[in-house]
Structures are given as C-alpha cells and as structure tokens.
Structure 1
Amino acid sequence: MSPGGEHLKDEGTRRQVILAGGIAGLVSRFCVAPLDVVKIRLQLQIHSLSDPSSHRDVVGPVYKGTVATMRAIIKEEGITGLWKGNIPAELMYVCYGGIQFTTYRTTTQALSHLPHRLPLPVESFIAGATGGGLATAITYPLDLLRTRFAAQGPDRVYTSLMASVREIARNEGAPGFFRGCTAAVGQIVPYMGLFFSTYESLRPSLAGLQDLPFGSGDAVAGMIASVFAKTGVFPLDLVRKRLQVQGPTRARYVHRNIPEYVGVFSTLASILRTQGPRGLYRGLTVSLFKAAPASAVTMWTYEKALRLLQEMEVAAGEN
C-alpha cells in the first residue's frame, strides 16, 4: 500500500491491471485444478455417504472425502484425471481475472468521484460484486465446459474442447452454454462483494506483516476473506454445478443418477426435499480447502505481477 493511502484498486494502469489479473487467474487455476475436480465430483454426487442403502442402485463411483476421492480418480482415470477441464478453466480464469480486476478498478475509481465518498467496505463490496458479476456472465460458457469435462469419468462424453462446443451448439443451442448462469451470477455477486470488502478491510492491518504464507499479508487477507465469503454462498455454487450438467448428456457423466433439474429455486427445493439441508453443502470442505489457497495465490500473484509490471515500465522509461 502506498504512503498516499491508495488501495489495490487504485494502483497500476489499465493495461497493467489486465495483465496482472490474467496472470493471477492462470497461476491460481493450475495450482488448485485437482481440488476443483474433486469438488465438482462431490457436488454432483446425490447419494448419502452415511447411508449404505443409498448406494445399492448407484451406477458410478461413490466418493467419500477429499483424499479418498483423489485416490479413486487417480486409480480409475490416471493422474491426468485431476486436471480434467483444465483447458477451458485456464481460458476462463485468464479472461475472468482480467475482466474482474479491470471492472473492480474502474468501478472504484468511479465511486471515488462521488460527492460523498462511501466507506471502504461498502465501496469494495459494490466494486467486487460488479466485477465478479460481469466477469462471470461473460466467461460463463467456459465455466460450463470446465464442469462438464471435470464430470466425465473414464468414458468420455466429449472428445475435445471444439467437439464439445459443436455438440452443445447442435443439441442444446445457445441457451445450453448458459445453464445455471442465474445461480452463478446470484452466487458471485455476494461472494465477490463479501470477499473484496473483507480483503480490503484486513489488508491494511496485515500489509506490514512478513514471514507469513507466501511471504505477505496479502495472501492471509485473501484466505480469510475467501473462507468467509465462500461459506455464505455455497448452496448456489452447488446448484450451479447441478444445472450445468443438465441436458441430453446428463446420464453419461461419472455419476449416472444426477436428477433432472430446471431452474435455481426448484433445484434448491428439490435438494432440500430429497437430501435435506446437508445436501446443499456437499463438497463444502474441499471447496473451502480449495478457495483459501486459490484466493491467496490469486491475490499474491496479482500484487507481485502488478509490481513487476510497474518496475519493468519504470526501467523501460529510464532507458
């Protein structure tokens, strides 16, 4: 943080922010891809882990816990199974990071020109929600492709990224690329708002601390903010995943008994009715385990990349 009291959103040019955001998304995604695949598999699993009788007619694997799920995927699909869907996910995270941080910076700069400056947490909430919502909507087709590839077991549903795009376009039309988008935006707006407001509130007090994970208080602030925000909106994340695998290929994924869902609220009601409140939190543990390091890596990489880009520009100007 600069001596003038500038925050993350005020630092760097637009080009630097776009590049730093894209780099942060790329690095973060690759690091947490295996946990993301595990999370998706657990979110799509509808049978109860505590009731063996619910496993009798299940076609497909029964996953129990993060480590056991990783082992099962490696055993059945090889180590590369933990990176299924990584190509569309990397594309999504690069685009998402650039759009998110640029919108965040632009929105907060616009808010700074209001006659009466808003409190920092409120300002950060608005900017974070705006950036997250816009980035989610624009990159959503890549998110859907990521989920469908991660949901594939040993029997492949789609042979390649381009093949999946052609098949969805042919069989489901343009709306097929946006299944569950309402739940995604409904989730990301409060999530990013809570994340950035918490992050910006914690960052000043942690900025001077060293000898922390990843070497700075930025990472710790990102981890705390992510855990807090993720827990609050997790049911909508689960609903999004269930809706993303609807359509003509629904019964061909690793979990063959995924029910047919239509709409966010009817999906929530159906899960509550058939699986109880716990059904809305399948995969929460691995989600939190993934979200904390992912956000820490994202914010740490963003800050480091931004500073490096600034230093490179200064050095170029001096030559």
Structure 2
Amino acid sequence: MEPKSDLEFILRNLLAGGVAGMCSKTAVAPLDRIKILLQAQSVHYKHHGVFKGLMAIVKQESIFALYKGNGAQMVRIFPYAATQFTSFEIYKKYLSVINIPMVQHGDKFVAGAAAGVTAVTLTYPLDTIRARLAFQVTGEHRYTGIANTAITMFRTEGGIHALYRGFVPTMMGMIPYAGFSFYCFESLKYLCMKYAPTTLCRKCDRNTVVSVEKNHHYNLEILLFAKTSTILHIRYFKVESAGMIKTLTLIYRENGVTKGLYRGMSINYLRAIPMVATSFSTYELMKQLLQLDTGMSVA
C-alpha cells in the first residue's frame, strides 16, 4: 500500500535507509575493525596486513572479536543511514524544481553532500564511541559498553566537545564523499535505465521517481554496477587532541604519505564495493517493498 502522506513517506524511508545501513555495515564489520586497528597503529596488530590482521584477531581474541564494536555501529548506523537516505530524497525533490542551470546539473551532488552533512551532524558522537570500542583489545578494555563509553568521555575528556572531537575534518571529507557517492549512483542508474532498460530493468506496474522509461523498474544488477563508482575515498581523520593541521603534519612527519596519511587505504578499496553495493541495493529493495517508488510531493 502506497504512503498516503509525506509523513508516512518519510517514516517508511527512514526504515528503508536504516535497514540498508545496518546490512551494509554488518557485511564489512571485520574490515572496519582491522581498519581502525591499523590506522590507529595498535601495538598488537600494526605489523600485520589486512588479511594477516584478520587472522591474528581470530587467533588472539576470537572469531566474534571481528565484530567488536559492531553493536555500537548498529546503534549509530540505523539513524545515520535513515537520516542520510531520507534527507537525500527530500533535498533532491526540492532541488529538482530550482530553475538554475548549475543547480539542475549538480542537484544530485548537492543533495548527497547535504544529506551526508545532516546525517553526520546528528550521529557523530555514536561514531566516536564506536571507534573507541573497536580499538579495544581483549584484556585491555577501558570501556564496558556504549553508555559507559559516552559517560566516561563526557566526564573525563571535556563534555560534549569530546564526543564531537574530529568533527570538522570528518565533515570536510563527507561533503565530497557523500556528494560524489549519490551523484555517481544516480547518474549511472539513469544512464543504465535509459540506454539498457530491457537488459538491466524489469517490467513494473508503477513508475518510479528516477525512471526514464515508464513501466520499467531497476534490478539489483544496475545497483551493484552503479555503486562500484563510489570507490572514491576520503580518509576521515579522528582528531583526538591537536587540531586538524597539526594532526596531519604530525602523521606526515612520523609516517610519511603512504604509511601515514593514506594508511588503511587498501582496506577501503576492499570494503567499498561490498559495503556500498549492499547499502544501495538493500535501500532500493526496501523502497520497492515499502512502495516508496512514487516519491513525495513538493509544496
């Protein structure tokens, strides 16, 4: 049953986005943890590569340790992904009616960047907490859970500022990352539906917001293909004490470019395709199941 109001559309979209985010992050949770351990140069794993590091985690801790911090990740990712996807749909609809050539050609980028900024602003403390939990090694735990981490950081590290430490550089990275992510996906989806509708689409009784050919719907094949475009990577620096420039300078002086500023880059290439493919595929599938294809009205 199609949503009867914009509010119902937004609520359904929040659910679709949240589920998509949880599926995508769970799929790459082991890679997320080893990425954090390598980037932060944990004394236990900094000499390992990606695959040896994963095996070392299982050997030294347990197979379940691959998912350490994933609980906090789920608490964070549901509102984050729900906000990001829903914000994108709303921003995209409003930007589509603006009669400015530059905006018309870049509306998907602007909508994606704005959606990323919105989501990060609302959920950043949860990301900080998740990183702290994932960095812990068995036997050296400082925090016992999500609430304990938040309370401890708030009380001992400067209040709310501690939970938003590193927010500015993360935001600077999020704007191009989210902007290009949504722009590439929407553009490639449009091209595939326009030039190969019979190959990459299937018949559908309802038209869609982004459909080029009426009565056609996109298959998961187009989504998996389109999201490979988001391998573009921006590293988000978690600044724990110094400012962004000082942190970048310190990392460069101590470890250089390859082993410092771009540490963890290979993991991002490994995780990018399954993560974003799962995210957008699940989101679009949820949209179909929840009958969100017709979109929302614009006042």
After TM superposition, the score normalised by the length of structure 2 is 0.82
Partner Cα separation in structure 2 for residue 23 and residue 181 of structure 1:
25
Corresponding residue for 1:23?
Answer: 19
Partner Cα separation in structure 2 for residue 312 and residue 71 of structure 1:
43
CA contact (8 A) 2:95 2:103 kept: no
> Are 1:138 and 2:134 an aligned pair?
no
Partner Cα separation in structure 1 for residue 257 and residue 38 of structure 2:
15
Corresponding residue for 1:157?
Answer: 142
Partner Cα separation in structure 2 for residue 94 and residue 129 of structure 1:
19
Change (3 A) 1:197 1:302: same
Corresponding residue for 1:181?
Answer: 167
Amino acid at match of 1:216: E
- Alignment of structure 1 residues 143-292 onto 2, 5 Å: 143-154=127-138, 155-172=140-157, 173-207=159-193, 208=197, 209-210=199-200, 215-224=220-229, 226-228=230-232, 230=233, 233-234=234-235, 237=236, 239-240=237-238, 243=239, 246=240, 261-278=241-258, 279-292=260-273
Amino acid at match of 2:142: V
Corresponding residue for 2:283?
Answer: 302
SS at match of 1:307: helix
Partner Cα separation in structure 1 for residue 285 and residue 220 of structure 2:
11
Partner Cα separation in structure 2 for residue 128 and residue 14 of structure 1:
17
CA contact (8 A) 1:38 1:66 kept: yes
Change (3 A) 1:162 1:113: same
Corresponding residue for 2:46?
Answer: 62
Shift of 1:117: 5.4
Partner Cα separation in structure 1 for residue 280 and residue 186 of structure 2:
11
After TM superposition, the score normalised by the length of structure 1 is 0.77
What whole-Å deviation, never above 9, does each CA across 1:172-197 have from its counterpart, x for those lacking one? 11111111111111111110011111
What whole-Å deviation, never above 9, does each CA across 1:32-83 have from its counterpart, x for those lacking one? 111100111111128xxxxxxxxxxxx5333322110101111111111111
CA RMSD of aligned residues (A): 2.3
Partner Cα separation in structure 2 for residue 111 and residue 62 of structure 1:
45
Q: Identity across aligned pairs (percent)?
A: 32
Q: Please identify, of 29-38 and 14-23, the stretch whose mean Cα deviation from structure 2 is larger.
A: 14-23
What whole-Å deviation, never above 9, does each CA across 1:266-304 have from its counterpart, x for those lacking one? 111111122111111111111121122110000000000
Name whichever structure is richer in helix by fraction.
1
Partner Cα separation in structure 1 for residue 293 and residue 175 of structure 2:
34
Unaligned runs of 5+ in 2: 1-7, 202-218, 295-299
What whole-Å deviation, never above 9, does each CA across 1:122-181 have from its counterpart, x for those lacking one? 111100000001101110011001101110012111112221122112111111111111
Change (3 A) 1:88 1:125: same
Corresponding residue for 2:209?
Answer: none
Partner Cα separation in structure 2 for residue 103 and residue 149 of structure 1:
28
CA contact (8 A) 1:21 1:97 kept: yes
Partner Cα separation in structure 1 for residue 293 and residue 111 of structure 2:
28
Shift of 1:118: 4.6
Corresponding residue for 2:211?
Answer: none
Amino acid at match of 1:180: G
Change (3 A) 1:120 1:30: farther
Partner Cα separation in structure 2 for residue 42 and residue 296 of structure 1:
24
Unaligned runs of 5+ in 1: 1-11, 47-58, 247-260, 314-319
Corresponding residue for 1:112?
Answer: 96
> Are 1:95 and 2:79 an aligned pair?
yes
